[in-house]
Amino acid sequence: MSVLSKPVDVRTVVRCAMFAALIAALGLLPPIPVPIIPVPVTAQTLGVMLAGAVLGARNGALAVILFLGVVALGFPLLSGGRGGLGVFFGPSAGFLLGWVAGAFVTGVLAAASECKFPRLIIACLVGGIGAVYAVGIPWMAVAADLTMVQAAVASMVFLPGDILKAVAAAVATRAIRRGYPAAHP
């Protein structure tokens, strides 16, 4: 319950809601087909990494939880117009829950990065890919009765797009922190 030990003030609520809405709005963008990469890249996980890197670990994770809460209520805000409780019961639901861990880990590492660019990229890679896959792949292995290796292989189609997004998130985070220093958690 360490997340809840600090009282939540108005600004925190509004910031988390704003970033949850940002993650939703990024899902409204049509998926971008990128040459060489087999699946179209959606911008939604970019919002997850930004939430962690800009808002910090705790608030970034809260923003993702809020976003998932709104999806669970029945609003079709996941990319591709998916929503409702169904998305939390499929074999790829672990990746959605992994977003919470992803935003948190990105936030922890980004706060320690002192805004140095290579460290920000590492923060987005480890948080936005490492932590997300660390939840998503075991979930898929259990839900679809695969071995971990098979689940990992099946997830690899998303890796190139996620790497592009992690770099984009790091570039954007550095620019945002320069342009709005008060955003620093």
Partner 1 sequence: MTIGVYVPGASALHRASPGVKLIGLAAFAVCLSLTTNLALLAALAVGLLLVWGSADLGWQRLISSLTLLKWILVVMFVFQFLSGGLLAATELMLTICALVSAAALVSFTTRTDDMLETLQYAFSAFARFGLNPNTVAFALVFVIRLVPFVATVGREAIEARLARGGGRNPIPALVPMVIRLMRETDTLSEALVARGFARP
Nearest distance from C-beta of residue 21 to partner 1, angstroms: 4
Q: Which is nearer to partner 1, 82 or 119 (CB)?
A: 82
Q: Should residue 37 be labelled a site residue for partner 1 when binding is judged by CB under 8 A? A: no
User: Rounded to an integer, what distance in angstroms lies between the CA atom of residue 103 and that of residue 47?
Assistant: 9
Please pick, from the candidates 25, 34, 115, 159, the single residue that binds partner 1 as defined by CB under 8 A: 25
72 vs 134, beta carbon nearer partner 1? 72
One residue of 18, 148, 156, 159 binding partner 1 per CB under 8 A: 18
For partner 1, the closer of residues 83 and 130 by Cβ is 83
User: What three-state secondary structure class fits 145?
Assistant: coil
**What one-character-per-residue DSSP string does 99-140 give?**
HHHHHHHHHHHHHTTTT-HHHHHHHHHIIIIIIHHHHHHHHH
The helix or strand, by DSSP H or E, that contains position 48, with its residue range, turns out to be: helix 44-55
The residue count for binding partner 1 (CB under 8 A) is 63
Nearest by Cα to 45 from 109, 111, 99: 99
Q: Does 48 bind partner 1 (CB under 8 A)?
A: no
Q: Which residues contact 173 (CB under 8 A, 6 or more apart)?
A: 49, 50, 53, 54, 110, 120, 124
CA distance 65 to 135: 15
- What is the contact surface with partner 1 in residues (CB under 8 A)? 1, 4-5, 7-11, 13-18, 20-22, 24-25, 28-29, 43, 46, 50, 54, 66-67, 69-70, 72-77, 80, 82-92, 143-147, 150, 154, 168, 171-172, 175-176, 179-180, 182-183
